[in-house]
């Protein structure tokens, strides 16, 4: 007796095809509806003068929504687009922590080593107490140079070598015992950059390019220099009660590994996708990198649980914001469902966390708060 697998009839094939089409059409409709709501909300934020930049929202392997609002350059009336390049500010820290973790995985550094093991010219009395782990988690006790009372006026506009800056502004006496307290600290991440350069024998910019940007084909991301001509780079502005002004100049050698990068929403989408793989770092070491310590801060990321609106359901959120003269940024990773929200703004500080929460509730079909005009805009 011959045993054969029966071939599906044309009718059966048609039913399968229609079912597949219906499922995909339903998913497309959901994405379209979410995108419509996100656009409506972000357009209102823009109309009320509270957002001027680009947005990208993704679900796993798909981009649900991306759009620019307002102007990248107000003097030439050039619009913000998804490929517009923004200064990232402290989002840079997650790239710095990734390189540190790569060097740790390769056995070139140890997280519990004192920083004087790598920076022999650093002051010994404090350097013997502070570890790389302390620098990564903002628990070193070293005062942050951006908190200096004269920072903007006397420090931020001048060029420095890495060694000069470490000696002048990252070597103050400890404010508290290392590991005992959380205090957000740009000096710690500047020191991590100095350590990367000592260990590799290369500039941070070169190491960043080779280990991350080239690997992930992030062609619109880099270490910013004011003097370099960079296509599609947004200008930074600050909002005043009546209008906007150009932001104050800052020399990017001061921001360095704590905040000197630029990127686009599209390139940060590539970065986010790679974080779910072992392309840059094995899962074992990523688990260490994303483990939260004091104030729910891990290595270059905040890690916490949030509650959805009108729900008892909580979501795991891995995120980080950034701020640098004229720019305000936020990357939010909702890792349970691999959602991504990227907000890049070029008109100074604004309520990006509130916008991200609104988008999160839209993604999960929950009620969300509509933007409101501030008193000065009414």
The pLDDT, as a whole number, for residue 3 is 44
Residue range 81-105, pLDDT digits in tens: 999 999 999 999 999 999 999 999 9
Pairing of strands 71-73, 78-79: antiparallel
- At 219, list the tokens: 């062609």
Whether the Cβ atoms of residue 271 and residue 216 lie closer than 8 Å to each other = yes
CB atoms closer than 10 angstroms to residue 114: 19
Residues 294, 370: Cα–Cα separation, whole Å: 33
Residue range 262-274, pLDDT digits in tens: 999 999 999 999 9
Per-block mean pLDDT, blocks of 10 residues, the chain (378 long): 49 55 50 93 97 96 95 98 98 98 98 97 96 98 95 94 97 97 98 98 98 98 96 97 94 98 98 98 98 98 91 91 98 97 97 97 94 72
End-to-end CA distance of the chain: 85
Residues 331, 340: Cα–Cα separation, whole Å: 7
Residues 67, 82: Cα–Cα separation, whole Å: 6
* CA 220 distance to own-chain centroid: 15
pTM: 0.91
Residues 40, 359: Cα–Cα separation, whole Å: 11
- Among residues 280, 297, 257, 271, which one has the least CA distance to residue 105? 280
CB atoms closer than 10 angstroms to residue 309: 13
| Residue 280 φ/ψ, nearest 5 degrees | -100, -30
Number of helices (H) and strands (E) in the chain: give both, helices first.
Answer: 11, 13
Whether the Cβ atoms of residue 99 and residue 299 lie closer than 8 Å to each other = no
Pairing of strands 78-79, 237-239: unpaired
CATH of domain 52-377: 3.40.710.10
Angle at 332 (CA atoms; ends 179, 87), nearest 5 degrees:
85
Q: Where are the domains of the chain?
A: 52-377
């Amino acid at each position: 007796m011959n045993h054969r697998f029966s071939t599906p009839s044309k009718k059966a094939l048609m039913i399968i095809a229609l079912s597949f089409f219906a499922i995909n059409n339903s998913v497309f409709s959901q994405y379209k509806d979410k995108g419509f709501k996100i656009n409506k909300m972000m357009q209102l934020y823009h109309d009320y003068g509270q957002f001027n930049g680009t947005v990208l929202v993704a679900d796993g392997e798909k981009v649900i929504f991306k759009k620019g609002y307002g102007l990248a350059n107000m003097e030439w009336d050039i619009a913000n687009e998804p490929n517009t390049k923004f200064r990232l500010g402290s989002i840079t820290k997650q790239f710095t922590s990734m390189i540190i973790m790569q060097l740790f995985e390769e056995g070139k550094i140890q997280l519990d080593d004192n920083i004087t093991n790598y920076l022999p010219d650093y002051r010994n009395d404090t350097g013997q107490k502070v570890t790389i782990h302390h620098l990564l988690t903002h628990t070193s006790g070293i005062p942050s140079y951006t908190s200096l009372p004269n920072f903007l006026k006397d420090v931020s506009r001048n060029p420095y070598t890495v060694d000069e800056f470490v000696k002048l502004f990252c070597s103050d006496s400890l404010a508290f015992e290392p590991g005992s307290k959380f205090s957000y600290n740009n000096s710690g991440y500047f020191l991590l950059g100095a350590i990367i350069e000592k260990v590799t024998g290369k500039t941070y910019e070169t190491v960043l390019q080779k280990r991350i940007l080239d690997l992930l084909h992030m062609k619109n991301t880099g270490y910013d220099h004011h003097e370099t001509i960079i296509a599609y780079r947004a200008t930074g502005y600050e909002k005043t009660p009546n209008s906007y002004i150009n932001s104050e100049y800052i020399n990017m050698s001061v921001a360095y590994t704590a905040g000197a990068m630029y990127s686009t929403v599209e390139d940060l989408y590539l970065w986010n996708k790679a974080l779910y793989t072992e392309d840059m770092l094995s899962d074992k070491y990523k688990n260490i990198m994303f483990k939260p310590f004091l104030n729910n801060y891990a290595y270059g990321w905040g890690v916490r649980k949030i509650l959805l609106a009108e729900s008892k359901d909580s979501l795991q959120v891995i995120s980080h914001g950034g701020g640098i003269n004229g720019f305000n940024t936020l990357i939010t990773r909702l890792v349970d469902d691999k959602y991504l929200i990227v907000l890049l703004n070029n008109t100074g500080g604004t309520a990006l966390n509130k916008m991200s929460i609104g988008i999160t509730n839209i993604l999960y079909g929950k009620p969300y708060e509509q933007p409101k005009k501030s008193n000065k805009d009414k």
